[in-house]
Amino acid sequence: MWRVRPLASLRPLLAGRPGWPPARAASSTNISAFMPEAAAFAGVRDYPALKQLSLRQAERFWEALARARLSWISPFHTVSDCDLARGSIRWFEGGRLNVSVNCIDRHVHTSPDKVALIWERDEPGAEVKITYRHLLEVTCRVANTLKRQGVRKGDRVTIYMPASPIAVASMLACARIGAVHTVVFAGFSAEALADRIQDAQSETVITTNQAVRGGRIIELKKTVDQAVKMCPSVKRVLVAKRTENEVPMSNIDIPLEEEMMREEAVCDPVAMESEDLLFLLYTSGSTGKPKGMVHTQAGYLLYTSLTHRYVFDYRDGDVFGCVADIGWITGHSYVVYGPLCNGGTTVLFESTPVYPNPGRYWEMVERLKINQFYGAPTAIRLLLKYGDEWVKSHDRSSLKILGSVGEPINSEAWDWYYRVVGDGRCPVVDTWWQTETGGICIAPCPAERDAEIIPAMVMRPFFGIDPVLMDDQGRRLMGNNTAGSLCIAQPWPGMARTIYNDHDRFITTYFKPYPNHFFTGDGAYRSEKGYYRITGRLDDVINVSGHRLGTAEIEGAVNQHRVVAESAAIGCAHEIKGEASYVFIVLKDGVDMTEHVIREELKGIVSQKIAKYAVPDYIQIVKRLPKTRSGKIMRRVLRKIVERKLDELGDLTTLDDHTAIQEIVAGHKEMLKKEAKE
């Protein structure tokens, strides 16, 4: 459990391991079959040439794709108008379209009875299929309900719901009438929900009476009630029924299904400008306040649909199974917008990887005949521990591609995914991207014939993505076999446009560190052959089970406990979660509580202020924290102590009080001993 951070070393990885393809055959991609839009580019005959064009003549590339792949109400006149220094990013201006029309109506015209959504409910074997025709009807009814309640173009609507057709219809209903949705993961606490509602100034919240997960009932509406008490902006709460149980309803609560059934099943879509807001999605950064990342209409939709098509080699008729929750960007881009824009069939997964047993994913793959499965390394690492039988007892012959997202996938998990889950038949695509990037930026592209994939590497940039590595001095690192901070040198249509209500923070965070580049916050290594591997965050963001969490957010929560004088949170390696959070606490004088009680209360406070997944795994009570003479906490020192690399503490000349370190080292060992006993 105390192994070093898994990606700290840059050893050239995995030489000689089986990657993809199993045997290299000499053949090249037939470009006109691969991407018909490329016919517009005279002279581009192979994949490398197309890649080059997407970078060197980015506007030509994106113009052709945007015209061919999206349905426009009126055409755009300017492909892109971006100034990274000012954080000004604009694509397809002059164009007007409606995202819900692109995701539903146009497919209703061609194939109304095609299944759009497969709702894989918590109870296995109880899936519900929703056709495009049906999805349009439900979306229009929700849209009309929102309109009747006074929701107008530009208004923010907070959606706090588990994955379900009504949640997807709510997102698309917002898009239809021009409202801005902000989905909050239904695992966040009332306070975290309230913070997000208030930052967005939402008047409307959509939720469900209860949620069901892993066979247990979750009182979702109760959490909303608590949150709404703290949010004077909220005028109405629409409540859908996930269970038959009654929950208390107040005068601002509206039963959603009852209202919907009174509305018409048609609703005129609003013509939206390309750069009008589509949604806000909050994500953690290096301060205590999450950022409301803003995504807009056309560019986001084009980018998610294109990456969905090519990274997963998604073909008409395939069943796409992304098991991420809709509360995260992966759910937005690869459960909802990408697959639906492509007229695909997408799975909405409501359950957990181990309910009712660790065979759940693979039983579902067999039952729903899933062709592309997209999940998180943390779940793969967990399932690997239960052994191969849970996988092998299910027919997985429908699978064509396996995807990984959210955090680095270690080579053991990659191997198991590839060999056991995929029977060595399916390419594994490790996809690197962020809430900020809107869609996948670096990943293998198996749609490209015989493209090489090396285990646990994210490999190559997608079309139009120009990754660069920077050194400490802000100089671009040329050449290969090198590591640095990962930036992207050119704008692309899917990137976030601003932080809601805080454009200055947007510029400072992403565009100031390396002028004229988008800074990702991640470090990366570029191999001899030019392939990428992500080495982890460079800022105070940790990644617990694929979910981002700011160490400042954790500190902010624990500091609210009356016994805490100060605290420092860091991430440490964890076998299953990837990273766990480790919090050091200094108590106020005269506290007479047992350490056990303090720990339990602190865990409770983090769960109450943020979410269960944020609860620290380790809490160590110390007399003082290592600080510089100017009073800054030296988190780097704490990290090295926890990694047990005492010989790598580095430059300690600025350290104020050296005895602090011995004390913390001793306390850390003591804690491990106790843990081992327990």
Stretch binding ligand 7RM (CB under 6 A), from 64-72, 185-193, 467-475, 514-522: 514-522
Q: Which of 543, 545, 567, 620 binds ligand 7RM (CB under 6 A)?
A: 543
Query: Is residue 311 close enough to count as binding ligand 7RM by CB under 6 A?
Result: no
Query: Is residue 641 close enough to count as binding ligand 7RM by CB under 6 A?
Result: no
Angle 345-172-82 from CA coordinates, rounded to 5°: 100
**CA 33 centroid distance within chain:** 31
Q: Which of 405, 496, 569, 602 binds ligand 7RM (CB under 6 A)?
A: 405
Query: Is residue 513 close enough to count as binding ligand 7RM by CB under 6 A?
Result: no
Query: Is residue 446 close enough to count as binding ligand 7RM by CB under 6 A?
Result: no
Query: Is residue 642 close enough to count as binding ligand 7RM by CB under 6 A?
Result: no
Distance CA 446, CA 21 (A): 9
Closest CA to 488 of 503, 508, 470: 470
Backbone phi and psi for residue 374, each to the nearest 5 degrees, phi listed first: -130, 115
Q: How far is the CB of 589 from ligand 7RM (least distance, A)?
A: 39
Stretch binding ligand 7RM (CB under 6 A), from 213-221, 416-424, 489-497, 516-524: 516-524
Distance CA 282, CA 261 (A): 32
Q: Which of 66, 101, 260, 329 binds ligand 7RM (CB under 6 A)?
A: 329
Q: Which of 105, 522, 540, 579 binds ligand 7RM (CB under 6 A)?
A: 522
Cis bond upstream, residue 493 (ω within 30):
no
Query: Is residue 286 close enough to count as binding ligand 7RM by CB under 6 A?
Result: no
Q: What is the DSSP string of 305-347?
A: HHHHHHHTT--TT-EEEE-S-TTSHHHIIIIIIHHHHTT-EEE
Stretch binding ligand 7RM (CB under 6 A), from 394-402, 428-436, 593-601, 668-676: 428-436
* CB atoms near residue 335 (< 10 Å): 27
Stretch binding ligand 7RM (CB under 6 A), from 208-216, 240-248, 341-349, 431-439: 431-439
How many angstroms separate the Cα of 521 from the Cα of each of 313, 437, 470, 471? Answer: 29, 12, 12, 13
Quick one: 246 exposed, middle or buried, by C-beta within 10 A (0-12, 13-18, 19+)? exposed
Q: Which of residues 330-389 bind ligand 7RM (CB under 6 A)?
A: 330
Query: Is residue 553 close enough to count as binding ligand 7RM by CB under 6 A?
Result: no
Q: Which of 349, 433, 511, 582 binds ligand 7RM (CB under 6 A)?
A: 433
User: Is 375 or 491 the residue whose CB approaches ligand 7RM more closely?
Assistant: 375
Q: Inter-axis angle of helices 47-56 and 58-69, to 10 degrees? A: 110
Stretch binding ligand 7RM (CB under 6 A), from 120-128, 424-432, 568-576, 590-598: 424-432
Q: What is the DSSP string of 525-584?
A: EE-TTS-EEEEEESSSEEEETTEEEEHHHHHHHHTTSTTEEEEEEEEEEETTTEEEEEEE
User: Is 98 or 284 the residue whose CB approaches ligand 7RM more closely?
Assistant: 284
Q: How far is the CB of 307 from ligand 7RM (least distance, A)?
A: 11
Q: How far is the CB of 152 from ligand 7RM (least distance, A)?
A: 30
Query: Is residue 460 close enough to count as binding ligand 7RM by CB under 6 A?
Result: no
The length of the chain is: 678
Q: How far is the CB of 61 from ligand 7RM (least distance, A)?
A: 23
Distance CA 540, CA 521 (A): 9
Angle 586-592-594 from CA coordinates, rounded to 5°: 80
Q: How far is the CB of 376 from ligand 7RM (least distance, A)?
A: 8
Closest CA to 310 of 477, 498, 439, 407: 439
Q: How far is the CB of 374 from ligand 7RM (least distance, A)?
A: 11
Contacts with ligand 7RM, residue ranges (CB under 6 A)? 283, 328-330, 405-408, 430-435, 458, 520-522, 534, 537, 543, 548
